[in-house]
Amino acid sequence: MSLNIENATVIYPGTDGRPPTEALQRINLTMDDGDFVVTIGASGCGKSTLLNLIAGFLAPTEGRILLDGTAVEGPGADRSVVFQKHALLPWLNVRDNIEFGLMLQGHAKAERNKVADHFIALLGLSGFENSPVYALSGGMQQRVGIARALTCDPKLLLMDEPLGALDALTREKAQELILHLWHDTGKSVFFITHSVEEALFMGTRLVVMSPRPGRITHQFDLPFSRQFLEGISARTVKASPDFIQIREEVLAIIFADEEAV
């Protein structure tokens, strides 16, 4: 998998007499196989817009998005999205939600079951297969969303603040779960978050964006997720001097943006 975003600009037309919004201005970004790119930035800086662009829900006003050399023309099963919320289907139980993508693609019931079983076990949802999704906790709902995104074996996993609604403890567990999944499956991940600590801990690369117009201002290569996967505990990684130093640096950039508003 290789993703190339070349000079992508997105301008939302102004409604009700308001001026148009330049949500993204000449974004250039490349992603290679196995990358875990985390995007962070002040609210409204165009993170979701960028993800929608990669997912194909949105076409760039200018520039282009190349996935393995071909232009992205719309959504496709090679890219799966995990949304922050509201994306599960409450009329289906946990299993049917997880099988949703396979069902749409016309796979046979037996095959769907097999794949779903695998991800139900992998994400610790065993015993809840037949529960209605609205009866699950927020953390479990998010795991259903992740399982559903993984069933179709996407090359690229797009996550828009998937852990934003979780409490601190569940959130740290979910971070570790996602890192293990990423490591075990070898997929590429594009991940949006509001938490600097989460961004630094999870990514192999950090992309910092600034608002008005939305653009990429800094990029950092990160070693911390690999340290964690090599066996160092998450708390130790997050408390290391390197981690703290870069955390303060990124926080300073983002605070400067927020104050400029």
Partner 1 sequence: MKDKHDKHLNATPPAKPGLIARLAKERPTKPGEIYGVPGSGDTMMLSLATIAVLLFIWWLITTMGWIKPLFVPSPQSIVAKFISVWQEGFTGSPLWLHILISAGRVFGAFLLACVIGIPLGLAMGMSPLIRGIFDPPIEFYRPIPPLAYLPLMIIWFGIGEASKVLLIFLSVFAPVALGARSGVRSAAIEQIHAAYSFGATRWQVLRHVILPAAMPEILTAMRIGIGFGWTTLVAAEMVAATRGIGYMVLSASQFLQTAVVIMGIIVIAGIAYLFDLLMRLVERKVVPWKGKM
- State in angstroms the smallest separation of the CB of 167 from partner 1: 19
254 binds, among partner 1, ligand ATP, Mg ion, none (CB under 5 to 8 A by kind): none
Nearer to Mg ion, 50 or 116 (CB): 50
49 binds, among ligand ATP, Mg ion, partner 1, none (CB under 5 to 8 A by kind): ligand ATP
Nearer to ligand ATP, 25 or 48 (CB): 48
Nearer to ligand ATP, 14 or 90 (CB): 14
Map residues 34-73 to x or -, x wherever contact with Mg ion holds by CB under 5 A.
--------------x-------------------------
Chosen residue from 34, 44, 63, 75 binding partner 1 by CB under 8 A: 75
Chosen residue from 5, 29, 42, 81 binding partner 1 by CB under 8 A: 81
Map residues 50-69 to x or -, x wherever contact with partner 1 holds by CB under 8 A.
-----xxx------------
Q: Is 137 in the site for partner 1 (CB under 8 A)?
A: no
Q: What is the DSSP string of the chain?
A: --EEEEEEEEEEPP-TTPPPEEEEEEEEEEE-TT-EEEEEESTTSSHHHHHHHHHTSS--SEEEEEETTEE--S--TTEEEE-SSS-S-TTSBHHHHHTHHHHHTT--HHHHHHHHHHHHHHTT-TT-TTSBGGGS-HHHHHHHHHHHHHHT--SEEEEESTTTTS-HHHHHHHHHHHHHHHHHH--EEEEE-S-HHHHHHH-SEEEEEETTTTEEEEEEE--HHHHHHTT--HHHHHHSHHHHHHHHHHHHHHHHHHHH-
The residues of the shown chain that bind partner 1, judged by CB under 8 A, are 55-57, 74-77, 79-81, 83-91, 100-101, 103-105, 132-134, 148, 152
